[in-house]
Amino acid sequence: MFLQFLLLLLALPFCTPADTITPTQPLRDGDVLVSKGASFALGFFSLGNPNHRYVGVWYYNISKQTVVWVLNRDDPINDTSGVLSIHTRGNLVLYRRDSPLWSTNVSISSVNNTVAQLLDTGNLVLIQNDGKRVVWQGFDYPTDTMLPYMRLGLDRRTGLNRFLTSWKSPSDPGTGEYSYKMEVSGSPQPFLKKGFEPIWRNGPWNGLRWAGVPDTDNGFIFKVNFFNNEDEVSGSFSIVQPSILSRLTVDSDGLVRRYTWQESDRKWVPFSFAPAELCDNYGRCGPNGNCNLYTADYFECTCLAGFEPKSAREWSLREGSGGCVRIQGANLCRNGEGFIKVAQVKVPDTSAARVDTSLSLEECREECLNNCNCSAYTSANVSGGGSGCLSWYGDLMDTRVFTKGGQDLFLRVDAITLAQSKRKKNTFHKKWMIVMPTVGVALVTVLMVSLSWLATKNRKGKERQHKVLFNLSLNDTWLAHYSKAKQVNESETNSELQLFDLSTIVAATNNFSFTNKLGRGGFGSVYKGQLSNRQEIAVKRLSKDSGQGVEEFKNEVTLIAKLQHRNLVKLLGCCIEEEEKMLIYEYLPNKSLDSFIFDETKISMLTWEKRFEIIIGIARGILYLHQDSRLRIIHRDLKASNVLLDVDMLPKISDFGMARLFGGNQIEGSTNRVVGTYGYMSPEYAMEGLFSIKSDVYSFGVLLLEIITGRRNTTYYCDSPSFNLVGYVWSLWSEGKALDIVDVSLAKSNHANEVLRCIQIGLLCVQEFAIDRPTMLTIIFMLGNNSTLPPPNQPAFIMKTCHNDAKSPNVGACSINEVTITMDAR
């Protein structure tokens, strides 16, 4: 009998579920509570300081401990005396040395059968009456992480507004300075703020998605939901594919990131983040300004129609935060005013906007027109063709242009601006209607006479061009992969490429005269030319003994013709005739970046402001290649000599002979043929043939340091004989002397902090392990903001011994000529 009682007594602790805290089964420091499906765990943990103990929830079934919720984030326990238990009055209480430190502090009608349970959603709930009533839940008090099914926003019944706040740092879960919160006034929208200062906003819910996140594929991986009723106004997300682990965080560096767990690499991968580019920053172009990164103009800010810059001087200096004001004398009250459509935009801040879901879009227009204070309107719901009315009264803040997924905004303008807009639309049509009757007979006559000759010539030309281009791409495996992935045919791939006659190029370059020669590279020589229409061109002529050759030529012809960006050099066409193979580019008068930054005379022309513009331009060009172009491209040979400068010193990335194209969501690959330039290649690529978007990031980091220092990366320093430029910068950075290596022409610059920040970004880019390097999106954000940067890890650099060269003009330094190399990866 005693033995049976003892066995029963030993079995009692195991009768309590492993996911539950009961009045008789508390959670002590060292215990771990695991949810029923083993998805999440609850327990005590430490981070940077082992003497600081926190109670939190983390993922249980992945190797990397990832904390998603912290109970006592601002009040850690400094020993292991912590206990989380059910109080005699039914509340969940955290004790430190038997003294209460925290409590759920809710009204419990009956203490009986009250337990705390960790659910498979990651939610810790306090349940009463055998699981029938949840009286408190951790999801109502989130920290920095939003999990699937968690709702952020206002509970109208209780007044509780659930929002995220960042950690102080990756090793300190205390309440940080960034918050992500639903602002419920006007048309509700989530805001990212630093203190009380808005940093970025999602935009309002437009019936399909958050208006400020147009690239959200709602329903493929995530399903985003919005609730706005008498009980609450909140947002949540769920996972369409249950096998995917995902979370959204507001991080200590001021970014909102959505992560997914990549089991193959055992790591969290950022799926998206914001703010990601300049126009994401709240109020970048001020009141009544419109931010557009896709215009040909280098400055991203423009004024909305009917407005002009508030400060012309600031606008000329590319400072747009002051915004725009109405053009003086404009009358918008019952004086012939109307509306202009501003297409594909993130609608302005809706905090003070009015919403009326009962109106149609036409009724919305009439209501706005009849109110002289109404400045713009649009649909409140774009699904199903559009419905509801969203209207603004006063200034329009934080408008920006999207390439896709934006919304049409109808802007109130005065009669003069309205007439000018209509005139522009009708100009082409009117001119054509006037010209057509006049020249109609003549055209018919000319066409009839020339039809036979033109048909013959065009047929032969097309046959020759298609034959040449088809032969170029016939054996190109990566192009075949792209064609299959994108489902485009050969003629579509090459439709934008012009084929030049050899005689045209010979005449343009004065028979490739020496006086027209601009330089020579691994591909061959480059010549300046002028076409008969006086357009200046640069001709890249494939040398017969080129170390690169036909493969690189094919690569550049089939690749760059599809790329259009202001920071990429424009390919006009090619010439393939007899044994000649040539690429025809736009001519850029200032040649390449290396001719400035490595020239003692010219480098003084580059002020810090100009260098910073060049750095930003290069970064935008690479981001376009990695993410925003129709193709996903890794350049693989980014260096100073492959960055050209136009007449305004705008940088344009060139030379795509080494580039590789990726399909779909591919971001990395491998090769047995390593090509590139010594000093710019990342270690994983040079040694193992592994390349990715992070390979280009490494090259960008090297180039950034060269621009700042005015020194080649292949220069070695005899006062520090084991370091090249990257290593030398790292050693000075570690000693707090990074400014010692900055180019002397910047010595009198007033931008020391900005220069130091750029050096730190450069060192982040050249870290040894690719996973540690930021993406180009992150880099552009870091360049354009003053958020706290993480400390860089030691970079990858090659150990060398320097031998002084008596012929070198730079005593104490020696260098290796820049060469493009090809080698087999081991």
Which residues belong to the active site?
Answer: 637
Give which of 249, 235, 273 is closest to 142, Cα–Cα.
249
Name the 3-class secondary structure at 678: coil
Q: How many residues does the chain have?
A: 826
Token pair belonging to 608: 């810090």
DSSP letters, 66-131, are -EEEESSTTS-BSSS--EEEE-TTS-EEEEETTEEEEE-----S--TT-EEEE-TTS-EEEEETTT
DSSP secondary structure, 186-246, as one string: SS-EEEEEETTEEEEE---B-SSSBTT-TT--BTTTEEEEEEESSSEEEEEEEESSTT--E
Distances (CA, A) of 279 to 36, 201, 276, 292, 311: 45, 11, 8, 7, 20
Per-residue b or e along 64-84, where b marks 16 or more CB atoms closer than 10 Å to that residue's CB: eebbbbbbbbeebbeeeebbb
Token pair of 619 as six digits: 């970064």
DSSP reduced 3-state for 675:
strand
Residues facing residue 632 across a β-bridge: 662
What distance in Å separates the CA atoms of residue 364 and residue 385, rounded to the nearest whole number?
Answer: 15
Residue 308: exposure state from Cβ atoms within 10 A (0-12, 13-18, ≥19)? middle
- 409/418 Cα distance (integer angstroms): 15
Q: How far apart are CA 594 and CA 677, in angstroms?
A: 14
| Cβ-contact 520, 547 below 8 angstroms | no
Check whether 540 is labelled as a binding-site residue.
yes
Distance between CA 160 and CA 152 in Å, rounded? 10
Dihedral sign, Cα of residue 803, residue 806, residue 810, residue 816: negative
DSSP 591: -
Nearest 5 degrees, angle CA 458-CA 463-CA 464?
100
Beta strands in 382-472 (DSSP E): 389-393, 399-401, 407-413
The span from the CA of 695 to the CA of 679, in Å, is 12
> DSSP letter string over 280-342?
GSTTTT-TTEEE-TTSSSSS-EEEPTTEEES-HHHHHTT--TT-EEEPTT---SSSS-EEEEE
| Token pair belonging to 544 | 């017969």
The annotation places the binding site for ATP at: 540
